[in-house]
Amino acid sequence: MKIQLETSEQNLISHYGPGSISVNGTAYSSNILITGSAIFQDWFSGPLSELSLEHFKPLLADDLPGERPEIVLLGTGSNHTFPEMSLLAELKAHNLAVEVMNTRAACRTYSVLVGEHRPVAAALMQFES
């Protein structure tokens, strides 16, 4: 049996913890939006109630590098908190399925889906301990 290490050109979450999320070894202390081939720093700041379709426009752009995501994992910080239902409906109208979870779960789920070569994005809000 031949065992071979699979390498990836994908953006991978290498660490997550209070106040920091690392992608490919680079730490980010702000909220980020990532896909397999793009990272958007300072993606959103503010309370979850102010999150809007505008914040997800990078995922809808024609010049988005790589494959357009079908699934968006919304990590809402320390707690699993839903945004406005109207936002979820707007994203669905743009063919983006949204799964809402706390940021720790979103980081883990993103890593699994990227490992399966699925077209996924993660919108990650920083969390405290």
Q: Give the domain ranges of the chain.
A: 13-125
C-alpha dihedral, 33 to 102 to 26 to 71, nearest 10°: -40
Q: What pLDDT was estimated at residue 2?
A: 40
Which stretches of 22-102 are DSSP H helices?
A: 57-60, 85-93
Q: Tens digit of pLDDT for each residue in 23-71?
A: 999 999 999 999 999 999 989 999 999 999 999 999 999 999 989 999 9
Would you state the pLDDT for residue 3?
A: 47
- Look up the pTM and report it: 0.91
Residue 1's pLDDT is 44
Spatial contact of 23 and 12, defined as CB atoms under 8 Å apart: yes
Segments in 47-102 forming alpha helices (H): 57-60, 85-93
pLDDT of residue 8: 56
Task: Report the pLDDT averaged over residues 111-125.
Answer: 95
What is the rounded average pLDDT for all residues in the chain? 92
Angle at 64 between CA 56 and CA 84, to 5 degrees: 10
The tokens 């707007």 sit on which residue?
Answer: 90
Torsions phi, psi for 104 (to 5 deg): -60, -45
- 28, 22 contact by CB (below 8 A): yes
Domain 13-125 falls under CATH 2.40.160.60: no
pLDDT tens-digit readout, 3-31 = 444 455 799 999 999 999 999 999 999 99
